[in-house]
Amino acid sequence: MVLSATEDPRTLAPGIHLLPTQGNSLGIETAEGVVVIDAGPGGDVTERMIEVLRSYTEVPVRAVVYSHGHLGYNTAVPRWMDHATERGDHLPELVAHRRVIDRYDRYRETRELQKLLAGIQFGVPPAALDPLIDLTDPTTTFDDELTIDDADRPIVLRAAPSETDDALMLWLPEQGILYGGAATPGASIPNIGTPLRTQRFTIRWAETLEEMHALGADILVQEFGPVVSGAGKVARQLSAMAEALRWVRVEVVDRMNRGMTDVEIIGELDYPTELFDHPYMAEVYGARDYIVRDLYREENGWWASRNPTDLHPPHPDRAASAILDAVDADQVIAHAVSVADNGDLPTALAVIDLVALAPGDDPSIATARAHKADWCRQLADDCNIFVSASLYRSAAKLLDEGRTRWS
């Protein structure tokens, strides 16, 4: 699973411990107690996290630091509160960037939408996601930088806008250890432009990586990938990621200036191997195409297709019914199958939609939807990008239910 820790628990330096949670975490001992990054999603994952921490130290937890505001990472804050109470300790301080509160307010307002989006992306029934949206606001927030003082291990928290605008980095200057959090996913190219999420802003992410590079860290703890050891390796990775993101920006802007659409740009770009042929730039969770689309959205409105048909479109059912009336459904299906048999499944989907999107349960429509569902599953099986594969599978499941839309 992409969203899982990739390192075994261990001590990185005296009093600084790598913990497993929804990704990699740290437990940092200070004179006033342990500082923990993220509470985890709850259940067995958080219980394991607590168990590992307690194998290292019995010192009370002083603070839980939110790495960023996405769902799941701090669902288990109440469990850590209970843990403190069970031990007779003071309740930990909950520390985050100020914008986490804004994000949580937005998630509460759009609760059902968030469940729907997460259900589509991760293939989980929406009802199972209810616990993830029982959010606990931080008690202490900051804008740019906050230092948790300690004589031996001062902890510097800095804003690190990247995957989210509320992400932070954690810097231990005395030990040269940097926790990059969401800005350094590690196991994948930065997931900018994820299909169901808000914009991530490519150059903002690059600037954060460059700020991290300037710290000169000896050890980089990534969100999901392996710990990077050695100042040279850390510097090369951070600078290379930033350079690659800036390269995409330059190339996309050049083509936008020539009037190209996002789809045209995606079809033309040729990515240099020296920038993109690295494990931390692999298309595992994020994708190059996603980044192009996010950059395009930064400079363009919603009319990305440039097709006047999309300006004031009819209701999808009305348009699909009219298209079906104008074509021979059986011939369309036969041609789509021929295209698929020749190995071009994306084009086959475009053709089959002439029939599959129509309302009703006519046998030809049902046949078209069955083919489309099957091709979506094939595309998912052949796709290395977790999000794209998940969306193909979710679409196939919807079609199997005789539906074409989530509403």
**Contact between residue 375 and residue 340 where contact means Cβ atoms under 8 Å apart:** yes
DSSP state of 315: P
* Predicted confidence band of residue 126 (pLDDT cuts 50, 70, 90): confident
Residues in a beta bridge with 26: 18
Angle formed at CA 347 by CA 346 and CA 349, multiple of 5 degrees: 70
All residues at 6 or more sequence positions from 313 whose CB lies less than 8 Å from its CB, including other chains: 319
Q: What is the rounded average pLDDT of the residues 42-52?
A: 96
* Tokens describing residue 153: 């291990």
Taking residue 295's Cβ as centre, other Cβ atoms within 10 Å add up to 25
* Predicted confidence band of residue 317 (pLDDT cuts 50, 70, 90): very high
For 223, half-sphere exposure in the C-beta direction (CA atoms, 13 angstrom radius) is 29
Q: What is the rounded average pLDDT of the residues 210-215?
A: 98
Query: What are the tens digits of pLDDT across the range 132-152?
Result: 888 999 999 999 999 999 999
* Predicted confidence band of residue 4 (pLDDT cuts 50, 70, 90): low
> Which of the pair, 123 or 267, is modelled with greater confidence?
267
User: 328: helix, coil or strand?
Assistant: coil
What sign does the dihedral 214-218-222-226 (CA atoms) show? positive
User: 69: helix, coil or strand?
Assistant: coil
User: Is residue 1 over pLDDT 60?
Assistant: no
pLDDT of the residue at 125: 84
User: Is residue 7 over pLDDT 90?
Assistant: no
Q: What is the rounded average pLDDT of the residues 73-101?
A: 98
Strand runs (DSSP E) across 330-384, as ranges? none
Cα 220 from Cα 228, distance rounded (Å): 5
What is this structure's pTM? 0.95
User: 15: helix, coil or strand?
Assistant: coil
What percent of the chain shows pLDDT beyond 70?
Answer: 99
User: Is residue 71 over pLDDT 70?
Assistant: yes
Query: What are the tens digits of pLDDT across the range 252-309?
Result: 999 999 999 999 999 999 999 999 999 999 999 999 999 999 999 999 999 999 999 9
Q: What is the residue type of 134? A: D
pLDDT of the residue at 2: 59
Residues in a beta bridge with 97: 142
Secondary element (H or E) of residue 79: helix 77-87
Q: What is the rounded average pLDDT of the residues 16-32?
A: 96
